[in-house]
Chains A and B, each alone.
Chain A
Amino acid sequence: QKEVEQDPGPLSVPEGAIVSLNCTYSNSAFQYFMWYRQYSRKGPELLMYTYSSGNKEDGRFTAQVDKSSKYISLFIRDSQPSDSATYLCALNDYKLSFGAGTTVTVRA
């Protein structure tokens, strides 16, 4: 079993829709939870970062962590075509463990 499970998609939504992305994990030692965004032919860049259970908002993005269920989510409200990218969850104990990434396409 992988340490971090993420559905690779692909996910295609119309502009303005809410995008919901999820990861599950098995290692209780993970303390930091991150979401990276990767545009085509680019390296990943950090989108959001949290270390506690609950919600964290940043503009149209909300990261949610449920440590008891070992489940993390990323929600994108009012999605835009510029949000089309691959989204990777990443969890940190002493090193980062990444999910497989979910490819999202937002149709204009």
Chain B
Amino acid sequence: DVKVTQSSRYLVKRTGEKVFLECVQDMDHENMFWYRQDPGLGLRLIYFSYDVKMKEKGDIPEGYSVSREKKERFSLILESASTNQTSMYLCASTSDNEQFFGPGTRLTVL
């Protein structure tokens, strides 16, 4: 079974802090994605990566950056967290057209 793991299930940070969300997949997938999920808005794509050191902006990249130094790991970085970044963050990796999701990190920014 494909496994996508995320470093934290719940995280509480203060405004202005730098936040790292880590995602690891164990199936050698090339494509990895970061989404945020908010009530009424569904999943919105923040960034994605097709290969190591490759990254592409999604629909809402502002305030975020990413890092993909190794194929299995895709990190989402909030350079200076703000309250409007309080959300559920979901990482996914892709095989063909199926995306496999991690359990999510619920981030609260105070």
Contacts and interface: CB of A to CB of B under 8 A. Distances in A.
Interface of A: 4, 6, 8, 32, 34, 41-46, 49, 88, 90, 92, 95-96, 98-101
B45 A100 contact: no
Contacts of A8: 39-40
Given A92-B97, A95-B58, A42 B43 contact: no
B96 to A, nearest CB: 9
5 contacts: A41-B104, A42-B104, A44-B101, A49-B98, A95-B33
A100 B40 CA distance: 5
Nearest to B98: A46
A41 B104 CA distance: 8
B48 interface: yes
A68 B55 CA distance: 34
Nearest to A4: B42
Interface residues of B, number: 22
B21 interface: no
B4 interface: yes
Given A88-B43, A100-B41, A100-B42, A42 B103 contact: yes
B90 interface: yes
A8 B104 CA distance: 20
